[in-house]
Structure 1
Amino acid sequence: MTIFNLGSINADHVYCVPHLPGPGETLAATSMQTGLGGKGANMSVAAARAGSHVVQIGAVGRDGLWAKNRLLEYGVDTRHIAELDVPTGHAIITVDDVGENAITLFSGANHQISEDSIARVLSSGSTGDIFVTQNETNAQVIAAKIGSKLGLRICYAAAPFDANAVKAMLPYLDFLILNSVEAQQLETALDVSIEELEVADIVITLGAKGARWVGREIDQSFDAIKVDPIDTTGAGDTFTGYVLAGLDRGLTMGQSISLAMRAAALMVMRMGTADVIPDLKEVEEFSGL
């Protein structure tokens, strides 16, 4: 089976700071590094490292060919990543001493993906394949419509959160994943509870408190694995990629979430994003502190 990911590809510039800056505050960073990131790239790398065949649909600028090559090195099918005459997307990430972060995004090529190319790629899919997207590219709704008609399982990570974007995607979704803050924002925006949404499976990530799965006639909680976090950046994307890969490999939702919890726990103990996502062997051998 195949996971098709319409997702962002970014250069992540990560700055370590003593605390997250307040309004008007200037801070001296203690270190800086640049690596591969973007919610789309992170999820693709995670799913590929978890054993799935992942096709990335996206775009980079001429300055971002290194990112395309890095994805290929990590096992992602990059044949459908366009190379455009616009800058590659990037993120400015500040990480404090307890692992919390603040992120500023520049979309760049991520918002210039051709709708025709999306349709061509998805037409090669088969019933039972997975399609996933986030809110860091254009054409999510069009892609979801196409994928739904083709019988793909439509999955959506609702971040960065936008209530109108989620509302437009809801009619096509089989699987929705969001964090606890996003879940509250969605309930407020739609004036309905998460349990009332007509989506077969909803997973809410709860950070250090674990995760919650709301399915048809099921509401199950999963405890987080205790670790000492260094950097929470990319942990949610790693979780999502591992959940989707688990489902793609035939695991149950509960088994997929449990596997993803271990992957996310490993991830928060590492500094960086796509470049440090753990592989399946590491995750299966990990049991926490």
Structure 2
Amino acid sequence: MIFNLGSINADHVYRLAQLPHAGETVTAQGYARLLGGKGANQSIAVARAGGQVVHIGAVGADGDWMVELLSADGVDVRHVRRDQGASGHAVVTVEQSGENAILIHAGANRALRIEDVEAALAEAGPGDWLMLQNETNVQVEAARMAQDRGMRVAYSAAPFDEAALRAVLPHVTLLMVNEGEAAQMTQAMGAVQVPMLCVTRGARGVLWTEAGCRDAVTIPARKVVPVDTTGAGDTLAGYLVAGLAAGLNPERALQGAVGAAALAVTRPGASGAIPLAAEVAAFLGQE
């Protein structure tokens, strides 16, 4: 079982010819309101990969539609709490090349309570996984609880926050960062030691290292024409943890995760772009 303490956001997505420069006003070519947030994206990725996932989070009174979408995808939403404040949201700008710039307001995602996590993890046991990102509060408390229960902790250190990383790191089994976050981490903290480290490097693929193993594993990126890169890292993270939880070795889990992320960037949106396991299998089988 996978438990995901994660953000749930309403993504306000604006499509542009080109991302604006400082002080520049541009006209959007399109707009959509979609389900997003690193946590929601990762939970949906786990579910579409075939994994069982319990989402731990919160939305405001305006967030019922997001919880319904999570549930429709097979995510267990019994531990998503309704808060009196506003739900989290993001302003996502996407240019024609597929590159994006994102502004996030945390909202209810930062109103989680320790008792919310305790209630959810009471159902967990040794060998289960807890997923974390940096878009909620109580990550450290959750990671500590998970470690005490014999769970494995997968942590996406994004958005990068040195203090958050230092606090959670002693409890982490799998650390997931992109190339930029890895550079920030090294500059701030030097070499970081964790049992498993996954670094996504865009077109150069994924680098995987494990404590005690001399050789790193490199999984090449799949060649696709990108439409929208929003949520690609979340797709990879969800598929990777789902694969590991299912007992796949890291290389096989990574191959599926890289294939899923490649398919996701060929489609617009975040959670809506995440492929099903059958689509990923077909895509990898064609290569």
TM-score (norm 1): 0.97
Find 1:202's aligned residue among 192, 197, 205: 197
One-letter identity of the residue aligned with 1:211: V
Deviation at 1:198, TM superposition (A): 2.6
Gaps of 5+ in 2: none
2:26 matched to which residue of 1?
27
Aligned 1:177-188 pairs, distance under 5 A:
177-188=176-187
Aligned 1:234-253 pairs, distance under 5 A:
234-253=231-250
1:279 equivalent to 2:276? Answer yes
Distance 2:194 2:80 in 1: 30
Distance 2:274 2:217 in 1: 26
How many residue pairs get matched? Answer: 284
Q: Is the 8 A contact 2:232 2:261 kept in 1?
A: yes
Q: Is the 8 A contact 2:264 2:274 kept in 1?
A: yes
Distance 1:277 1:181 in 2: 23
Q: Is the 8 A contact 1:123 1:150 kept in 2?
A: no
1:227 matched to which residue of 2?
224
Ranges of 4+ aligned residues in structure 1 off by more than 4 Å: none
Distance 1:249 1:221 in 2: 21
1:211 matched to which residue of 2?
206
1:151 matched to which residue of 2?
150
Task: Give per-residue Cα distances to partners, 1:238-275, cap 9 Å, x unaligned.
Answer: 00000000011110111111000000000000000112
Deviation at 1:163, TM superposition (A): 1.0
Instruction: State the SS of the aligned residue for 2:275.
Output: coil
Distance 1:252 1:57 in 2: 27
Instruction: State the SS of the aligned residue for 2:76.
Output: coil
1:119 matched to which residue of 2?
118
Distance 2:36 2:180 in 1: 22
Aligned 1:46-195 pairs, distance under 5 A:
46-190=45-189, 192-193=190-191
2:262 matched to which residue of 1?
265
Instruction: State the SS of the aligned residue for 2:216.
Output: strand
Q: Is the 8 A contact 2:8 2:109 kept in 1?
A: yes
Find 1:255's aligned residue among 252, 255, 260: 252
Distance 1:54 1:124 in 2: 12
Distance 1:36 1:133 in 2: 18
Distance 1:34 1:90 in 2: 10
One-letter identity of the residue aligned with 2:236: F
Distance 2:75 2:203 in 1: 29
One-letter identity of the residue aligned with 2:200: T
Distance 1:271 1:233 in 2: 8
Instruction: State the SS of the aligned residue for 1:25.
Output: coil
Distance 1:127 1:74 in 2: 26
Q: Percent identity, aligned pairs only?
A: 45
TM-score (norm 2): 0.97
Instruction: State the SS of the aligned residue for 2:158.
Output: coil
Q: Is the 8 A contact 1:20 1:94 kept in 2?
A: yes
Instruction: State the SS of the aligned residue for 2:39.
Output: helix
Distance 1:104 1:117 in 2: 27
Distance 1:27 1:209 in 2: 32
Deviation at 1:119, TM superposition (A): 1.1
2:7 matched to which residue of 1?
8
Q: CA RMSD in A?
A: 0.9
Instruction: State the SS of the aligned residue for 1:198.
Output: coil
Instruction: State the SS of the aligned residue for 2:127.
Output: coil
Distance 2:97 2:261 in 1: 16
Q: Is the 8 A contact 2:90 2:105 kept in 1?
A: yes
Distance 2:111 2:217 in 1: 39
Distance 1:198 1:164 in 2: 16
